Amino acid sequence: MSDDMLRWPGGWARLGAWRGRSDIAYLAVGASYPPSRELVDQWLGALRGRGFDRVVTNALGPAETLPFVDAGFRVQERLHLLHHDLLDIPESTLETRRARAADRPTILEVDHRAFPPFWQLDADGLEQAIAATPTARIRVVDGDDGVAAYAVTGRADRRGYLQRVAVDPTHQGAGRGRGLVLDALRWLRRHRARNAIVNTQLDNEVALHLYQSCGFREQPSGLCVMGRAL
């Protein structure tokens, strides 16, 4: 099923299948002003009409959740939100390279080994992560047997986003994730971004330590993924 892109004054929403599933939909929202309850109800009706049984949102801030709570959504997962001002970026000598089209299958294999099932990307999910910002890039780090880690970095206006960082578990602890994060931060600063943000699951202590070691600071209010039955 193809995605639907919907717009209203102050924001946009993308509706589609979650990670290629035919029973679970996703509802990704980007907004200066949260959508109305009426808009959310319209989106739910459209998803029911496409045969989905359940829907999950993208990561939302506290103010963004209000119309979804009113529409019967509940918190499915809470996330840390971290911020970097791009002023002090530690040095790294790790070599990264641009991802090639031929790397995509291996990148997805790395992603599946690095994340639990709910968070794993399929080919469509990877494309959605890349397309989430007007400018984006994928960098990889090679191991002896191919791609060992990868990162998707995005930029929208003057803000940067670490959309995805994944390290094959067999290659963790060698500085590959740190090198990719620092490379992403330097790229954002070269392109005049003023800051960068990233989120990670509450129980992902490895990722939290990685981001903090690169200069990210945890924000007092985190994010959450919302969900409900249709």
For 61-103, the pLDDT digits (tens) are 988 899 999 999 999 999 999 999 999 999 999 999 999 999 9
148 with 173, same domain: the answer is yes
Using an 8 Å Cβ cutoff, are 1 and 50 in contact? yes
Structural domain for 31, as ranges: 4-78+224-229
Classify residue 219: in a domain, yes or no: no
Whether 110 has a pLDDT exceeding 90, the answer reads: yes
97 with 70, same domain: the answer is no
d(CA 91, CA 93): 7
Q: Given this model, what pLDDT does residue 99 score?
A: 97
Average pLDDT, the chain: 92
102 with 72, same domain: the answer is no
Whether 1 has a pLDDT exceeding 60, the answer reads: no
User: Total domain count for the chain?
Assistant: 2
Using an 8 Å Cβ cutoff, are 181 and 211 in contact? yes
For 4-29, the pLDDT digits (tens) are 878 888 788 889 888 778 999 999 88
Q: Given this model, what pLDDT does residue 69 score?
A: 96
For 189-216, the pLDDT digits (tens) are 999 999 999 999 998 999 999 999 999 9
Handedness of CA 115, 194, 223, 3 (dihedral sign): negative
